[in-house]
Amino acid sequence: MRKILIGLVFLYANLMSINAQEKTFSEKALQDKLVNLKGGEDTFEDVLEAFKGKVVLIDIWASWCKDCVVGMPTVKKLKNDFKEVPFLYISLDRTKESWKKGIKKLGIEDGTHYWASKGWKSDLFTAIDLDWIPRYMVIDKDGTIKLYKAIKAGDKEIIKQLTK
């Protein structure tokens, strides 16, 4: 009985989060700063502006995250299957050095990379209710969030949104 009750609570929570999905980023999230590979900072708004008119896959990850590492071959396959789609990687690594080492180790140099130096409590991650990584999001050509939350690289919804 307890397992059923826990399952129902989990299902309800998931259904409520589906209904609460955002379609746009808050102004606070857009003004959050991310560190680029050259060491400079860009607002998340500027990062998104660079992809205006394109569907974008956002992958929030960290090199220490087992699920992120396990999912990376699937992400690479998606990148190969959807060559016209830019991949935006935002790392939650603890240090800039571990972030850069992770990019090389996982062989994902061919995407656009940023490091969230403020970590989990950044304005961006607070705004999107980040509670797990990896986290995949798909943004459409107009900048609208089409997929708010996927936690597995093989989620069928990712492919569905990338093919639209």
* Residue 151 CB partners (closer than 8 Å, separation 6+): 67, 132, 133, 134, 135, 136
Take residue 28 and report the two structure tokens written for it.
Answer: 């606070």
> Is residue 6 assigned to a domain?
no
> Checking DSSP bridges between strand 87-91 and strand 56-61, what pairing results, if any?
parallel
The confidence score (pLDDT) of residue 164 equals: 83
The confidence score (pLDDT) of residue 45 equals: 97
The confidence score (pLDDT) of residue 1 equals: 56
The secondary structure of the chain in percent helix, strand, coil, rounded to multiples of 5, reads: 45, 20, 35
The confidence score (pLDDT) of residue 87 equals: 98
The confidence score (pLDDT) of residue 16 equals: 40
Tell me the pTM. Answer: 0.86
Name the phi and psi angles at 112, rounded to 5. -100, 125
The confidence score (pLDDT) of residue 20 equals: 45
Q: Specify the DSSP class assigned to residue 31.
A: T
Q: Which domain holds residue 27?
A: 22-162
Take residue 71 and report the two structure tokens written for it.
Answer: 């999912």
> Is residue 156 assigned to a domain?
yes
The confidence score (pLDDT) of residue 14 equals: 46
Query: For residue 64, what is the domain's CATH number?
Result: 3.40.30.10
The confidence score (pLDDT) of residue 22 equals: 78
> Is residue 3 assigned to a domain?
no
Q: What stretches in the chain show pLDDT beneath 70?
A: 1-21
> Is residue 17 assigned to a domain?
no
The confidence score (pLDDT) of residue 108 equals: 96
* Residue 88 CB partners (closer than 8 Å, separation 6+): 47, 51, 56, 57, 58, 59, 111, 112, 114
Mean pLDDT of the chain: 90
The confidence score (pLDDT) of residue 114 equals: 98
- Structural domains counted in the chain: 1
Compute the C-alpha angle 163/33/75, nearest 5°.
Answer: 30
> Is residue 97 assigned to a domain?
yes
